[in-house]
């Protein structure tokens, strides 16, 4: 299914409001949201607690290869730290570091500055810490908590864009895993599930546009984990039935890894399937296709066309080499 042009227009309004400094639109009116609070309370009671309040310490150098390490910083929310895991080897950051080291044939120095519960506004402080590591590459996972805390999309997008811009100005390549589809969380019932799905995908489309304009690239999580989570929740969800299990985190890391390698000009695969067009249209398409990458491009030598900045949507292979082999 492809989003209608209305979805692209909604994402454009959010980004425009962010650029102008306004609060922007919300997916719900206050009255509608209030009617759903009771269901949200029930869902929260059904969701358990993870085994810890944060992920295991995972900073370090990974990979058996020789040479100057690639410096990689991971920013964002609970996904960035692997909340619920006890072994660092099960966290997305370590899986990404090992995968990147295998492809680059160089070790990777990993610095994780993300924090469980973080919203996009918290990226400002995280970037400060990340820059201390002088990263060659920064990976950001953010957005879910902006939805659950009802942060206005334009405010969330503005903080993300500022973070990407600062990292790019430091010389780092930036890959952003956009807001996942929260409609896959089983304890959330209808109609709240439909509402959170609509809101999270609207935010993801706006994030895509903002990141492209700041010089980064995005990878859509969409309902990446949805089918697997729905059919095999015991294996893909962690004990709290909200955050991923070790296998769920691994699947998320493998989805981002091809774009991480491509950002550093390391990806050895043949050219992936690509679609070029307006960034607004491709952002709307990407939120319906998990694993797709969107990045800026030029058409006929121009970066901007009649309907906005030109972008390129890439459908990359995800059957990458396991970092643990």
Q: How confident is the model over 204-226, as pLDDT tens digits?
A: 888 999 999 999 999 998 765 55
Look up the CATH number of domain 5-315: 3.40.50.1110
| Known catalytic residue at 66 | no
pLDDT score at 145: 83
Active site includes 245?
no
**Could you give the CA distance from residue 202 to residue 12 in angstroms, rounded to a whole number?**
10
Region of 65 (left: φ > 0; alpha: ψ -120 to 50; beta: rest) is beta
Catalytic option among 228, 243, 259, 278: 243
Q: Does a cis peptide bond (omega within 30 degrees of 0) precede residue 70?
A: no
The Cα–Cα gap between 164 and 21 comes to: 17
How many whole angstroms separate alpha carbon 39 and alpha carbon 102?
Answer: 45
108 vs 205 pLDDT, higher one: 108
Which of 80-84, 173-177, 259-263 is the least confident region?
80-84
Percent of the chain residues topping a pLDDT of 90: 38
Whether 240 sits among the annotated catalytic residues: the reply is yes
- The whole-model pTM stands at 0.82
The catalytic residue among 71, 78, 80, 200 is 78
């Amino acid at each position: 299914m492809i989003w209608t042009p209305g979805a692209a227009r909604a994402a454009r309004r959010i980004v425009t409001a962010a650029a102008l400094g306004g609060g922007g639109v919300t997916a719900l009116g206050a009255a509608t949201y209030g009617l759903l609070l009771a269901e949200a309370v029930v869902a929260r009671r059904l969701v358990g607690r993870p085994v810890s309040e944060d992920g295991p310490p995972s900073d370090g150098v990974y990979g058996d290869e020789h040479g100057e390490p690639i410096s990689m910083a991971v920013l964002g929310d609970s996904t960035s730290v692997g909340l619920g895991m006890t072994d660092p080897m099960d966290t997305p950051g370590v899986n990404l570091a090992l995968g990147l080291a295998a492809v680059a044939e160089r070790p990777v120095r990993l610095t994780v500055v993300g924090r469980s519960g973080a919203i996009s506004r918290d990226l400002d402080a995280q970037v400060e810490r990340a820059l201390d590591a002088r990263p060659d590459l920064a990976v950001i996972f953010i957005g879910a908590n902006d939805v659950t805390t009802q942060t206005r999309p334009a405010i969330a997008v503005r903080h993300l864009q500022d973070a990407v811009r600062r990292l790019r100005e430091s010389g780092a390549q930036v890959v952003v895993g956009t807001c996942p589809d929260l409609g896959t969380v089983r304890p959330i019932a209808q109609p709240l599930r439909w509402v959170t799905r609509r809101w999270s995908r609207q935010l993801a489309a706006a994030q895509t546009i903002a990141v492209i304009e700041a010089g980064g690239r995005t990878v859509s999580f969409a309902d990446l984990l949805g089918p697997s989570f729905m059919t095999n929740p015991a294996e893909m969800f962690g004990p709290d039935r909200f955050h991923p299990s070790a296998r769920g985190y691994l699947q998320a890391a493998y989805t981002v890894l091809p774009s991480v390698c491509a950002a550093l000009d390391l990806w050895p695969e043949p050219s992936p399937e690509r679609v070029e067009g307006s960034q607004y249209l491709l952002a709307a398409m990407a939120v319906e296709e998990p694993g797709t990458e969107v990045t800026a491009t030029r058409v006929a030598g121009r970066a901007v066309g009649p309907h906005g900045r030109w972008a390129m949507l890439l459908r990359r292979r995800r059957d990458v080499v396991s970092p643990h082999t």
